[in-house]
Structure 1
Amino acid sequence: MECAAKGGQRRCSGSANRRCGGCGTVFYCSVSHQTSHWGVHKEECGRLKQQMSSMLLLNDFPFTFSREATHQVCEKVETRCSFLEKQGIHRVGLWICECRCGDSINLSDHIRSDNAWSLSNKLCPCKGPLCILNKQLTSWNDYYEWRDIPLHSPVALLLHWPLTIYQSIQLALSKQLISETTDELARNGTLPTCCIWRVACFTSCSPTVRVHIDFVGPGIPHDRNGERTTLCSYAHCTEVDCRCKSSKSEFISPITVTLHSGFYHDRYTQLTKEFIPDLIIAPNAGIAAYKTWLPTIELIKEIEIPAIFSDYCEEACHLAVNCISSVTGCPPIIPIQLNPFRQPLAVEDTALTLPCYSNCFLFGI
């Protein structure tokens, strides 16, 4: 932990092991630093305390591995790597991006492998659903039941990406920000490049809707700018004779994905030559942490296209809403709320002791 008063007028005197007795989320290196920082911290202390009181709710998942993936990671009994190792999915297939040691590995070699799930067909959605979805998904239980997947399967660790897209669309529909009758849905997102294969694991819950997704972000390599992929089959399981290996295992309606290197506000003119987006989705946005978001927020205000944002914790969303409101002059249309499809694996080494999960909270403008 870093001292919350780090960067002030005086240097830190040692390790930050003195916790705030009010919120319990920030630490200090000394009494003097804690005292000097109170003028800043007092405005957020009560809010952080309230967020900490929701820890049990945030850690509440239906999976058999939930305690290992939440409490034990937060308490440093487990790491993300050790948890994945126990599941038999560490550094293989689609799982390569879920731990730090995957940073130095050629992602394409693993993600495009024949057995991208690295799981049996009983544990993963490697083929289409048994029935058309006739109700809105509202929880991981709903999704697992629909796809007939047992609750000891770790697939939710990957499917939080496409299901966060699904949840974002449902929120936009509930506020009538997009039309339910559209035959085509164009979405702009700032997801990591590797997520296009994760989206391929998910079938559209509205099979008559044609979906186009633009992935935009500075993390996309320049040599892949403009690359287009059509997702028309599911990622494969490890079973040799599974139907997912057949050419007949296809989406009811293909999804097209195009990659764009750079910031959204810089690429918008090029993006809209072919598709005008219905919805902008920015997962784990970090709006308050990056100044480069300012011109993008100004653009979103100008073009009046609905946007859904997510972040790792409620506090990050709160700070983001303040930043956005200072530009737009308006509160969010969709208030900050817990994402039922947040990733059920805690983030390690966070700046605060707040429980953090990928795509944990959502809000929209």
Structure 2
Amino acid sequence: MDDQSSYVLPQAQSTLTSPPTTPVPLTSPLRDWAEYYSWRGLDVDSPVAQLLSYPLSVYYILTTCLKQDNSKYFESLLRKDTLRILLLGVEKEVELLPVFKELVNLLPWVSIHIDMVGKSISKKCRRKILEDGQLSIALFRGDYHSWDGQEAGIIIGLNAGIAAYRCWQPTLEKILKQNTPSYFTDYCEYFVDITDQTLKGANSGEVTQKRLNPFRAPFRITSEDNYLPWFSNAVIFSVTPR
């Protein structure tokens, strides 16, 4: 897996390629960018958070959201030799694989395997497996409902846009039939509310546990359609059966 030098400024790159001096206690996980930057010794004006929002959102979902929602399951998940994470609807994440190595620094006591599933993954990467120390990432081009891989401990969809893409419907049907915890992010609270209305209208589920993500990307995304504040990974939510 390539290093992070192509993704961040030189000063941040020299910091992120070095392991942290002290681990983050699982009993008191990092809560926001201020704590992460302090822990990593980054300058407060470093823009690296724009890219690190992807792995740090995964970290926050694991160590805060899941822990709050189902503490027993959270504890059992981290007792396993390998933490298996399933990322759905993958697009930009494939271009940012090196930044996911930061998950190993945040969770150094466990090996991490990530299955990335998405229709936008290149045909050249289909079923490709990348390994780097305690981290392995497998790529699958296609939808989750056509994926036949090993069951994951947690399912996550970043910037999912569930209401905008019809292909999510059979995927959600498959997810809701399982007992695997699932979390999603979207660009703003309005999109999450539309997702909730869409799911209820189809009588297939509903949005629960809506939270503002403290590890959302800091740069606002502008839209020609409206003036709503959009941020990558802005809001975290779950989907449960009705």
* TM-score category of the 2 structures, normalised to the smaller one: 0.7 to 0.9
Tell me if structure 2 keeps the 8 A contact 1:301–1:328: no
- Partner amino acid for 2:83? L
Match of 1:323 in 2: 198
Query: In the alignment, which residue of structure 1 is the partner of 2:106?
Result: 205
- The gaps in structure 1 that reach 5 residues or longer are 1-110, 233-253
Q: Which residue of 1 aligns with 2:70?
A: 176
What residue ranges of structure 2 are gaps of 5+ in the alignment? none
Alignment of 1:346 with 2:239, yes or no, is no
AA of the residue aligned to 1:148: G
Cα distance between partner residues in 2 of 1:305 and 1:122? 35
Deviations 1:115-153 (A, max 9, x none): 323422587422111101122111100100111111011
Q: In the aligned structure 1, how far is the partner of 2:224 from the partner of 2:10?
A: 30
User: Helix, strand or coil: the match of 2:44?
Assistant: coil
Is the strand fraction higher in 1 or 2? 2
Partners of 1:194 and 1:292 in 2: CA distance: 22
Equivalences for 1:1-365 in 2 at 5 Å? Answer: 112=2, 115-116=5-6, 117-121=8-12, 124-134=15-25, 135-169=28-62, 170-176=64-70, 178-181=73-76, 182-183=79-80, 184-190=82-88, 191-192=90-91, 193-232=94-133, 254-267=134-147, 270-272=148-150, 276-326=151-201, 330-333=205-208, 335-365=209-239
Mapped partners of 1:122, 1:165: distance in 2: 21
How far residue 180 of structure 1 moved from its aligned partner, in angstroms, is: 1.5
Matched residues, number: 228
Distance 1:179 1:202, change over 3 A: closer
Report if the CA contact (8 A) 1:228-1:256 is conserved: yes
Maintained 8 Å contact 2:12/2:42: no
Quickly say closer, same or farther: Cα 1:200–1:258, change in 2 above 3 A.
same
TM-score (norm 2): 0.86
- The one-letter amino acid paired with 1:151 is V
- The answer (yes or no) to whether the contact 1:123–1:153 under 8 Å persists in 2 is no
Give the Å deviation of 1:227. Answer: 0.5
Counterpart residue identity of residue 130, structure 1:
T
- Kindly, what percent of the aligned residue pairs are identical? 27
Taking a change above 3 Å as real, the CA distance of residues 114 and 149 of structure 1, as seen in their structure-2 partners, is: closer
Two-structure CA RMSD over aligned residues (Å): 2.1
Contact 1:280 1:305 in 2 (8 A): yes
| Structure 2 CA distance for partners of 1:324 and 1:173, relative to 1, 3 Å | farther
Amino acid at match of 2:70: Q
Q: TM-score, normalised by structure 1?
A: 0.58
Question: 1:356/1:224 Cα in 2 relative to 1: closer, same or farther (>3 Å)?
Answer: same
